[in-house]
Structure 1
Amino acid sequence: MTITQASARTSTARAPTPRRRVPLEPYLYLLPHALLFFLFTVYPIGYGLYISLHRWDLLNPVKAFVGSEFYRNLFTPGTPQADFFWKTLWNTTFFTMVSVPLLLFAALGLALLLHRPIFGRIFFRAVFFMPGILTVSVMGILWRWMFDNQIGLVNAAREVLLGAPPIPWLSTEGLAWVPIVIGTVWWTVGFNMTLYLAALGNVPISLYEAASLDGATPWQSFRFITLPLLAPVTLFVFVTTALASFQLFGQSLLITNGGPSRSTQSVIQYITEEGFTNAQYSSAAAMGFVFGLIMLIFTAAQFGLMARDVKGGEG
């Protein structure tokens, strides 16, 4: 071994290993969001779970640990919590099953009409979108007045045009859903319509021209070109609309107040009643966690559909 090789090996062996420096700047940028996320999400969830496992009484400083008692009440037939919770959950599910298809088809139909070069289409787009800027309180009061049993505009129009007696919309089970569903569709269809209009604007016109040259009818062009290209937007609209419908609260509270006989009371409305009206905070917290778990399962299933759709589109 030569002197040069030995000195090179010695210098290589003595060379210090550079220490990897961890940058702190990205974590500093994330710190404000992390603090807010912990303060307004993680801490309330943990505190709510703690409340659901204790007998919570604001006037009693001692909060007795009861474990899963309030969760068991929800699955024990005959208890008021089980009866009302599952009844209102079914009410919410029924509203979702009725309102979501209406919002999908109405939004798509309006988008197809207003995508055409018709006179005043900008005006009509604004007209259908503007109800969405109203608050739920304004919307609820408006549709409660529209379907009032005695002085409502709907009953007045029936009496003037048809000579028919007034219908007790708000005090009849089944019919009480009519103003809630119609009002919700009128209130929120504009947002979905805007999504469809944006998606229709991205469909290449050359596809329709090629289909026309091949002798395709308008229905065939819609079925084999428009609908497949709108599938991702349709799935997104379905997921977001379904999640929003499961959060039904203001419409049923303001239009029917959950009546008659709790037939239109939503599950969130009942949880609010249990906590803030009946002062059963532990029971309300347990209901909130069970409902949240149901929503989590439903959301996971929807995201699974979206992921499968994306993979299918890539293939």
Structure 2
Amino acid sequence: MTPYLYLLPFLLLFLVFVVYPVGYGLFVSLHRWDLLAETRPFVGLEYYRNLFDPETPQSQFFWNSMKNTGFFTLISVPLLIGASLGLALLLHRPIFGRAFFRSVFFLPGILTVSVMGILWRWMFDNQIGLVNAVRTDLLGLQPLPFLSTEGLAWVPVIVGTVWWTIGFNMTLYLAGLGNISQSYYEAAEIDGATPWAKFRFITWPLLAPVTLFVFVTTVLASFQLFGQTLVITSGGPNRTTQSTIQYITEEAFSNNQFSSASAMAFMFGLAMLIFTYLQFRIMARDARGEG
């Protein structure tokens, strides 16, 4: 019984803060949940069916938010991986002030999402933003209404997110670069390999496990987009930057549709579980040397 007693505290916390909320959320999604009503009738899968009925606003807004979240993930993940790898390659070299620059690129990650959002909302403000001030005063160009134009509203969200989170991925790549033996590069130099050849045939293959981990964690974090769009664009204009979690929150706490919001949360969670399962299959295959 000794090992089980050591596991008991974690088990209790897991049951209280994970199993119970998930089960209660499932229970809510199967009932017409009205806080002011005396009865909450069982409706089965009604709220799940609404998500696949194109005539319902829940279906339209939910899948639109899923599309927005997918677009953000598709654009931000390659930027976060490519930029962080590039920074890691630069700061892995013995340059002057290397520790200082590593700290500079990592420090934005300690900011809260509200601070980051307010900063980048001000940077891209339609009237008084720094970006438009540079465009008008230094370049002589007309200001662009970033926050009120469909398409352009994604610019501060994506740029701000990359600036905010690039330091964590950079640190992971720096750790991976530090584990690569210099003997590989010395042998490549003897063979006359170019810098590109060293990167292609030594650095990139040996960083594959790190890249896979960075890819999985970055995609999962991007799918959980919420604070950036809430603070910077408020989901606008015309819901074009509204993320899935942001719409679920609106459905629950603004529209008081807790059952519908719970059904959306479970659908979104199912999509995340499927993606996570596929990624773990890839990781397992890579660990066995099959990929």
TM-score range, shorter chain: over 0.9
2:104 maps to what in 1?
127
* Deviation sequence 1:217-258 (CA, Å, 0-9, x none): 110011000000000000000000000000000000000000
CA–CA distance in structure 1, aligned partners of residues 182 and 224 of structure 2: 39
2:187 maps to what in 1?
210
Structure 1 residue runs of 4 or more that deviate by more than 2 Å after TM superposition: none
Aligned counterparts, 1:220-259, within 5 A: 220-259=197-236
Q: TM-score, structure 2 length as denominator?
A: 0.99
2:67 maps to what in 1?
90
Whether 2:270 is the aligned partner of 1:301: answer no
CA–CA distance in structure 1, aligned partners of residues 179 and 42 of structure 2: 58
**In structure 2, what residue type is equivalent to 1:68?**
L
CA–CA distance in structure 2, aligned partners of residues 121 and 78 of structure 1: 57
1:192 maps to what in 2?
169
1:153 maps to what in 2?
130
RMSD: 0.8
CA–CA distance in structure 2, aligned partners of residues 285 and 113 of structure 1: 46
1:61 maps to what in 2?
38
CA–CA distance in structure 1, aligned partners of residues 98 and 38 of structure 2: 63
2:262 maps to what in 1?
285
Match of 1:267 among 244, 252, 256: 244
Match of 1:108 among 55, 79, 85: 85
CA–CA distance in structure 2, aligned partners of residues 201 and 38 of structure 1: 40
Q: Which consecutive unaligned segments of at least 5 residues does structure 1 have?
A: 1-23
Match of 2:5 among 25, 28, 39: 28
Query: In the TM superposition, what is the alpha-carbon distance from 1:160 to its structure 2 partner?
Result: 1.4
2:56 maps to what in 1?
79
Partner SS, residue 64 of structure 1: coil
1:180 maps to what in 2?
157
CA–CA distance in structure 2, aligned partners of residues 181 and 213 of structure 1: 43
CA–CA distance in structure 2, aligned partners of residues 219 and 40 of structure 1: 50
**In structure 1, what residue type is equivalent to 2:246?**
Q
* Deviation sequence 1:100-142 (CA, Å, 0-9, x none): 0000000000000000011111100000000000000000000
Query: In the TM superposition, what is the alpha-carbon distance from 1:27 to its structure 2 partner?
Result: 1.0
Query: In the TM superposition, what is the alpha-carbon distance from 1:165 to its structure 2 partner?
Result: 1.4
Match of 1:168 among 145, 150, 154: 145
Query: In the TM superposition, what is the alpha-carbon distance from 1:81 to its structure 2 partner?
Result: 0.5
**In structure 1, what residue type is equivalent to 2:190?**
L
Q: Which consecutive unaligned segments of at least 5 residues does structure 2 have?
A: none
Match of 1:136 among 113, 116, 119: 113
CA–CA distance in structure 1, aligned partners of residues 272 and 196 of structure 2: 37
Bigger Rg, which one: 1
1:312 maps to what in 2?
289
Q: TM-score, structure 1 length as denominator?
A: 0.91
2:178 maps to what in 1?
201
